[in-house]
Structure 1
Amino acid sequence: MSSYRPLHEGWTVTAVSSTGQLRPVVAGVPAAVPGCVHTDLLAAGLIEDPYVDDNETRLTWIGRTAWSYETVFTWDGTDDERADLVCEGLDTAATVTLNGVELGRTANMHRSYRFSVRHLLREGDNTLKVLFEPPYEYAEARRAALGDRPGAYEQPFPFIRKMACNFGWDWGPTLVTSGIWRPIGIRTWSGARLAEVRPLVTLEESDGAVNGRVEVHVTADRAAEGPLTLTASVAGVTETVRLDAGRRTGVVALTVPAPELWWPRGHGGQPLYDLTVRLGDDEWTGRIGFRSIELDRTDGAFTLVVNGRPVFVRGFNWIPEDTFPSRLTRERVAERFAQAAGAGANLLRVWGGGLYESEDFYDLADETGLLVWQDFPFACAAYPEEEPFRGEVEAEAREHVARLARHPSLALWCGNNENIWGLADWDWRDDLHGRTWGGGFYYDLLPRIVAELDPTRPYWPGTPYSGAPDLPPNDPSRGTAHIWTVWNTHDYTDYAAYTPRFVAEFGFQGPPAYATLRAAVTDEPLTPASPGVAHHQKAVDGNLKLLRGLGDHLPAPEGFDDWHYYTQVNQARAVTFALERFRALAPYCMGTIVWQLNDCWPVTSWAAVDGGGRLKPLWHAVRHAYADRLLTFQDDAVAVVNDSDEPWSGELSVVRLTLSGEPLAKERLAVEVPARGTASVALPAALLTPDDPAREVLTATLDGVRALRFPSEDPAMDYPEAEMDTVVERTAEGLRVAVTARTVVRELALFPDRLDPRATVDDQLVTLLPGETAVFHVTGGSPDPDALVRHPVLRCVNEPRR
């Protein structure tokens, strides 16, 4: 049997080069492994928190410094024939030495490395060193050698195989890391070991039954050349094959009669089966799920089909959860997954400027039924295809395609983010001067690797992409589209001008929760333009776009509290407008992936869950717009969206009301929508034509699901000043806040984190008609019950002006 010894203790880190910048002396500082330089210096008190105020700007020297990590460990010897140093993640260009002997050099954060070390280990003390080159120096040297490439940012991230957003993004800080970011240790073994286990799972019909087939592809490392026995077991089925002397690869095929099928959430359960593979004394275990996945591209469509069923994707884009990913725990990933699922999502897209995520990430996706769209890590730039990059890209792709093959949640491999679009529409060709840009990766190398190692899954060259290299890549009528006219230049009502097949990116900005912003910004007073708030806005002209985006939709803000509330409301409305529009187009449109679920630090951004893990009003709006059953006013009709397994039928009640609640016109319309279907119910002119657009509201209701349409934008509405009765009661879980409207109350929101950073609320942005009651549940912390129902904690659009 093999054994593993982690080497995570006793590390120190030392700065071994000078940048000419003022910096603290760093010599023999205790280091956490896994970790990175920034977190080590922070723990030692040598730098201020990079996430607070503008501290980030004084830490650029870290990415321009060489760093030496060193530990001494004792070794008692081993009877095993082999001993390997296993480095699961080194960030990034490093030289690894053991007892003064160089083991090898690395140049890829996205890969693992294994070095044979038995001959170098000695009983007693052993010294292990990892010397990291300055990331900037490495990347800039290769840029100088190969020629610059165009991209969205001036930073040299295309010239180093490292998390691109380390170099800053329009939502992220520029904090260029170095360190041993994933586990490191020594594995000893004899005879043979399982170097790679790659289960390929498919479904096959036989005599009217659906059976599961598992082909377990195995690669062995050998210390001896004799014959070996390879065994695989799953769901009570066991098969064995013999590997002849010297042979290093083998395949075990198993057929599982009528297994329970794995489904994305909302479509069925997520049964998982333990697969055990043995080679001699070595054993591998992992969970698999039985399901099929296909990509239907008929007539320009982009439809994921799971177990033969087309799935409307309700997704979020996922960026690295922390700028320092070694801090990410399974519990934190599970919290984000619960938030994604709680908002109604069934897919996460792992964006190409980040990482191949951890085993915890994909295991949790399997368990929760969240499909994973995995970008290869290329984003927003032309990338060189010459060596050493081609070899590094091939090695990382082979490793991760094989590593992730067992996960039923993994639905799609995608070649890149926006690089094909950049070449076509961002004037890159003029700047390339014939140099390589990455096309050889996206159109040749990566699809060949996926086809070779995991033909059970579809591959898509990039996003946006229309299905062929000679087509305009961001054509909404084909393949996947990104919509960034809204936010950058156009009002969110411009979403109505799009009729897409699948939208892989779109979104609108809003600030984080008050408690998240306040913890990261020490400005006094706090204003929309104060230095810390401005620093935590990374988008070009971001705060100007926030104000411009309010347009005619909401009143002009007066002070920070208005700015914070209105821009959050506007973010929620913009994304809701898009989601309702695109869901109503199903099955022509078969997917929406909101940019974005999460943040990597406290920042004003497109996220639904901010950098403190708090839910923004946007999250609550998406939960409504991603509900299985949805009513939405679209043009002169009510769209009835039924993304459930049961038909939805009944009488749709549509009423035109005064703001005081008096009916002016009403209709009851019979509707019947099939499972996983949509319908459009045309409305008569009596409902569509208001007598007074400033004093009316149109409602549509079916089985407790409601949609509202106000004929005019809020500043043009003649709302009465909101009047409401509030009752706050203590419960075993926290506080129950009941709000009963005496007038119309528009976009009622409760922000308990303004009183206690630990406090959360279960709903936001509720519009009440006269006589209606909303109940909010506040949990966590100890917020003042009286202050919960006062400004600025309790807000609505038509509150009395102050």
Structure 2
Amino acid sequence: MKRNLLLIMLCYATLLFGQSELQPEIIKLDTCWSFAKSGSNDWLSATVPGTVHQDLLRHNLLPDPFYGTNEQKIQWVENEDWEYKTCFSLSEDQMKRQAARLVFEGLDTYADVYLNGARILAADNMFKGYAVEVKDMLRCGENHLRVVFRSPIKETLPQWETNGFEYPADNDHADKKVSIFSRKAPYSFGWDWGIRMATCGIWRPVTLQLYNVARIDDYYVKQLSLTDEKACLSNQVEIYNVTGETIPAEIDIDCSLSGATENAAKQQVTLQPGYNSVNIPLDIRNPKRWMPNGWGSPTLYDFTVRVSYQNEILAEKHHRIGLRTIRVVAEKDSAGESFYFEVNGVPMFAKGANYIPSDALLPNVTAERYQTLFRDVKEANMNMIRVWGGGIYENDYFYDLADENGILVWQDFMFACTPYPADPPFLKKVAEEAEYNIRRLRNHACLAMWCGNNEIEEGIKYWGWQKRFDADVYKRFGADYRKLFHELLPAQVAKFDEGRFYMHTSPYFANWGRPESWSVRDSHNWGTWYGRKPFESADEERSRFVSEYGFQSFPEMKTIRTFASPSDYRIDSEVMTAHQKSTVGNDLIAESMERYFKVPQRFEDFVYIGLVLQGQGMRRSMEAHRRQRPYCMGTLYWQLNDSWPVVSWSSIDYYGNWKALHYQAKRAFAPVLISPLVKNDSLRVHLISDLLDNLQELTLDMRLTDFSGKVWKKESRKVDLPANSSHEVFGSTTAYWKSAKDLTECYLLITLKNSRKQPVAQSVCYFVPTKDLKLPETKIRRKVKYSDGSYTITLSSPKLAKDVFIEIPVQGARFSDNFFDLLPGEKRVITIESPRFTGDEEIAVRHIRDTY
């Protein structure tokens, strides 16, 4: 009888609302917002999603935080409370909906939310979304929504004051080491590459979601097994029945590829009031696998789940799913313990970088900037990026783009470089944060692993905290570490993402100063920076997987001009020091430059040579790691990007300009690489392939050439190149080529050709550091032409022009190549893409000899 009554009610609801009223209605609450400092009545227009810093900047109430030393002038903002308010209207029909949820995808960080006089939410975690049932608080007509943000500093000061000791959070202000108590992006409190800008605000979208009958809360496409013949999948759907009664429903699963249906399934269910969990199996015959960049197409299937009642759709959800196997191989062996990613049954050498948040003001990162970022990653021949644990869990679109571009993601949980508490309230927050983000990200083909934290165990063991803290406090660091990273987080991964690899920390064993650690899993090797070692050290320091290493440079001059004036153009000026957050700093760049280059006097030349230095030095490490395979199976340099215009380890600056490092990474990560190594009066030539097919009947052609283009000596030999391998194919003394004096006036051009005499790869090898080369004076000829929406510049020179840099005064322009050696008599055609480049701007072309 009760069921018949319910069916009558549902039919009546269908007539009342119309067919479309059964589907959810999503109302974006992104307009009509205003903000004010708490305690004032000075309300100004606000942007949501956004932050209070962005709103203050828009109303000219803050100076540009990136310019000069303005960072200090904005610190007052973090100590204030701020309020945001809006109103929205609902019609009578909308009020007839059976359920309503107010969904905040991101609140930064401590916020009380009020709706029509009711306090509906007390948020305290930036890293999770909040959904609040608000049906009984809504009104027909005008509704009032208010969000009160409490200062992240004042909010956590009582915890700091009652803790009994200071955590070693060196990223924080000395007098307010409060960041570790907050589940807020650690980098916002400042880092050794980052500005301190402790934001607050509605930083991700907010929506009002209206429902009838039922909604889908989660849809997980779990891969049970995968072979070339069949993929076995479980479609796990969580449905919430809002009616309070049992409901007969039908669940449809549809899987398609490029618009063509691959398979479908239906299941009749009875939805109980509240939450319902349904598993529906689905097989795909002859599945096409998702492949990482460089190995094939990152094929994505379209999966849709629909919940219907009598052919009326109540709710639906869509995912793009890549079918692949990923196994992290961490096995003890005679040398120590391996660490590599086996993708679709094949060992993959990981090539990539560490990713930090793309902006100090996160809502500034547009879809276009994300698209450009992944284009940059893919074009540099990368197949992996590490989302570092001091930033944020990125938004869905970030991982969508990683899926689409075949880029694997090493995902850290958001903990970095300091111990954290493990009291019950903190653990509860972390458990909720982990569940939220694991559920959100587990469908992505790109997700390769979870890592508990960045460098915390290393810090506990090796950063001298034993001497800074008494024995009980130091013991507590270890106990709390175990609770968080050995117990809570792996349990959450096992529960919500069964089968995904979890590692409690990176680096796994010890730090860069202890060679015994290099043979075990992953390493962070900071020898060439904090250890002040030469770049050649990478040739000998063999690690199983290098997940961090780096060297700094200034950004190019057009970026420096955005934060400094000509009076600041000194590496020790107040402004340059303010934009250099490393404890070692600009002096180390100069020290290393002197080792390899003639140090120029002009600041602009110093910046240019510094870019070349960073690129060449880092390339040496990348090639060393690739030569060392299969002992070493990964190289992820620090760092890919910047969050503001700054001197840093990045390969792409804040405005999207590729530094020399990114061009060198593209070359070092090429699928087929010739890697010559000159060391101790010997030359060794290695061939490296990441291809899945063997290359046979190749010719290695070597020509010793002077700087005017005259060939002094030739050598060639037949070689084969096995798939997915590295091996040495040639060795000689340097004296075999010429006397030591002559080697300062020539280079070795090495070309790998296929059976049709077509080049497969090419490399230019020098026998001495750049400062010892007798580089000739030469004038580069150039011809600029506009065609098909882009500019081409054709360069040629009668003599060698080393490390040619083409510069235009437009941010974010894309060059097909830059920071390259222009060989004598060679014509090099470079394409420049930029919607803001008209061709009228000055094009500057320089090379190393110009700085003498």
Q: TM-score, normalised by structure 1?
A: 0.93
**How far 1:218 moved relative to its partner?**
2.3
Which of 213, 218, 221 aligns to 1:196? It is 218
Q: Does 1:218 align with 2:238?
A: yes
Distance 2:224 2:442 in 1: 11
**What secondary structure, in the 3-state scheme, does the structure 1 residue paired with 2:728 have?**
strand
Shift in CA distance, 184/768, structure 1 to aligned 2, threshold 3 Å:
closer
8 A Cα contact 1:665 1:687, kept in partner: no
Cα-to-partner distance string for 1:585-623 (whole Å, 9 max, x where unaligned): 122211111211111111111111110111112211111
The aligned residue for residue 166 of structure 1 is 188
The aligned residue for residue 769 of structure 2 is 713
The aligned residue for residue 457 of structure 1 is 500
Distance 2:433 2:671 in 1: 38
Distance 2:300 2:802 in 1: 45
**How far 1:784 moved relative to its partner?**
6.6
**How far 1:203 moved relative to its partner?**
2.9
**How far 1:688 moved relative to its partner?**
6.0
The aligned residue for residue 80 of structure 2 is 65
Distance 2:114 2:541 in 1: 57
AA of the residue aligned to 2:35: V
Which of 478, 482, 491 aligns to 2:520? It is 478
Cα-to-partner distance string for 1:236-276 (whole Å, 9 max, x where unaligned): 22142525635632222212222211111111112222212
The aligned residue for residue 286 of structure 1 is 319
**How far 1:568 moved relative to its partner?**
0.4
Distance 2:765 2:589 in 1: 24
Distance 1:428 1:225 in 2: 59
Task: Summarize the alignment of residues 684-703 of structure 1 with structure 2, pairs less than 5 Å apart.
Answer: 684-685=732-733, 687=736, 690-692=739-741, 693-703=743-753
Distance 1:355 1:189 in 2: 31
Say how many residue pairs are matched. Answer: 784
AA of the residue aligned to 1:233: D
AA of the residue aligned to 2:263: G
AA of the residue aligned to 2:820: V
Which of 375, 378, 399 aligns to 1:341? It is 378
**What secondary structure, in the 3-state scheme, does the structure 2 residue paired with 1:138 have?**
helix
The aligned residue for residue 434 of structure 1 is 475
Task: Summarize the alignment of residues 604-623 of structure 1 with structure 2, pairs less than 5 Å apart.
Answer: 604-623=647-666
The aligned residue for residue 133 of structure 1 is 150
Q: Does 1:122 align with 2:125?
A: no
Distance 2:148 2:24 in 1: 28
The aligned residue for residue 113 of structure 2 is 96
The aligned residue for residue 83 of structure 1 is 100
**What secondary structure, in the 3-state scheme, does the structure 2 residue paired with 1:353 have?**
coil
Q: Which moved more, 1:510-519 or 1:62-71?
A: 510-519
Task: Flag structure 2 segments of 5+ consecutive residues without an equivalent.
Answer: 1-22, 256-261, 309-313, 754-758
Cα-to-partner distance string for 1:65-119 (whole Å, 9 max, x where unaligned): 1111112222334112221211111100111111222112111000111112111
Shift in CA distance, 549/141, structure 1 to aligned 2, threshold 3 Å:
farther
Q: Does 1:738 align with 2:765?
A: no
**How far 1:158 moved relative to its partner?**
1.4
Which of 363, 384, 388 aligns to 1:351? It is 388
**What secondary structure, in the 3-state scheme, does the structure 2 residue paired with 1:187 have?**
strand
AA of the residue aligned to 1:485: G
Cα-to-partner distance string for 1:338-375 (whole Å, 9 max, x where unaligned): 01111111112111111111111111111111111111
Shift in CA distance, 594/241, structure 1 to aligned 2, threshold 3 Å:
farther
Q: Does 1:150 align with 2:206?
A: no
Q: Which moved more, 1:757-766 or 1:390-399?
A: 757-766
Q: Which moved more, 1:77-86 or 1:683-692?
A: 683-692
Q: Does 1:237 align with 2:264?
A: yes
Q: Which moved more, 1:271-280 or 1:388-397?
A: 271-280
The aligned residue for residue 20 of structure 1 is none
**What secondary structure, in the 3-state scheme, does the structure 1 residue paired with 2:849 have?**
coil
The aligned residue for residue 848 of structure 2 is 797
8 A Cα contact 1:233 1:276, kept in partner: yes
**What secondary structure, in the 3-state scheme, does the structure 1 residue paired with 2:771 have?**
helix
Q: Does 1:268 align with 2:304?
A: no
The aligned residue for residue 17 of structure 2 is none
Q: Does 1:29 align with 2:44?
A: yes
Q: Which moved more, 1:572-581 or 1:266-275?
A: 266-275
Q: Which moved more, 1:354-363 or 1:695-704?
A: 695-704
**How far 1:9 moved relative to its partner?**
1.8
Task: Summarize the alignment of residues 273-422 of structure 1 with structure 2, pairs less than 5 Å apart.
Answer: 273-280=301-308, 281-298=314-331, 299=333, 300-422=337-459
Distance 1:700 1:625 in 2: 15
**How far 1:169 moved relative to its partner?**
0.9
Which of 678, 686, 689 aligns to 1:639? It is 686
Q: Does 1:770 align with 2:824?
A: yes
Distance 1:244 1:121 in 2: 26
**What secondary structure, in the 3-state scheme, does the structure 2 residue paired with 1:91 have?**
coil
Which of 262, 274, 277 aligns to 1:249? It is 277
Distance 1:124 1:322 in 2: 38
Distance 1:220 1:447 in 2: 28
Distance 2:68 2:345 in 1: 51
Shift in CA distance, 233/786, structure 1 to aligned 2, threshold 3 Å:
closer
Distance 1:338 1:156 in 2: 37
Q: CA RMSD in A?
A: 2.4
**How far 1:40 moved relative to its partner?**
0.6
Distance 2:277 2:353 in 1: 38
Shift in CA distance, 349/137, structure 1 to aligned 2, threshold 3 Å:
same
**How far 1:313 moved relative to its partner?**
1.0
8 A Cα contact 1:192 1:224, kept in partner: no
**What secondary structure, in the 3-state scheme, does the structure 2 residue paired with 1:140 have?**
helix
Distance 1:174 1:239 in 2: 53
AA of the residue aligned to 2:688: V
8 A Cα contact 2:568 2:574, kept in partner: no
AA of the residue aligned to 2:111: A
Distance 2:84 2:112 in 1: 10
The aligned residue for residue 22 of structure 1 is none
Q: Does 1:680 align with 2:723?
A: no
8 A Cα contact 2:226 2:323, kept in partner: no
Cα-to-partner distance string for 1:281-310 (whole Å, 9 max, x where unaligned): 222122111111111123311111111111
**How far 1:473 moved relative to its partner?**
11
Shift in CA distance, 132/570, structure 1 to aligned 2, threshold 3 Å:
same
Shift in CA distance, 425/273, structure 1 to aligned 2, threshold 3 Å:
same
**How far 1:484 moved relative to its partner?**
1.0
Q: Which moved more, 1:714-723 or 1:354-363?
A: 714-723
Question: Alignment identity in percent?
Answer: 30
8 A Cα contact 1:352 1:416, kept in partner: yes
8 A Cα contact 1:337 1:365, kept in partner: yes
Q: TM-score, normalised by structure 2?
A: 0.88
Task: Flag structure 1 segments of 5+ consecutive residues without an equivalent.
Answer: 18-24
The aligned residue for residue 717 of structure 2 is 669
Distance 2:198 2:779 in 1: 52
Q: Which moved more, 1:686-695 or 1:193-202?
A: 686-695
AA of the residue aligned to 1:14: A
**How far 1:576 moved relative to its partner?**
0.5
Q: Does 1:40 align with 2:47?
A: no
**How far 1:717 moved relative to its partner?**
2.1
**How far 1:217 moved relative to its partner?**
4.4
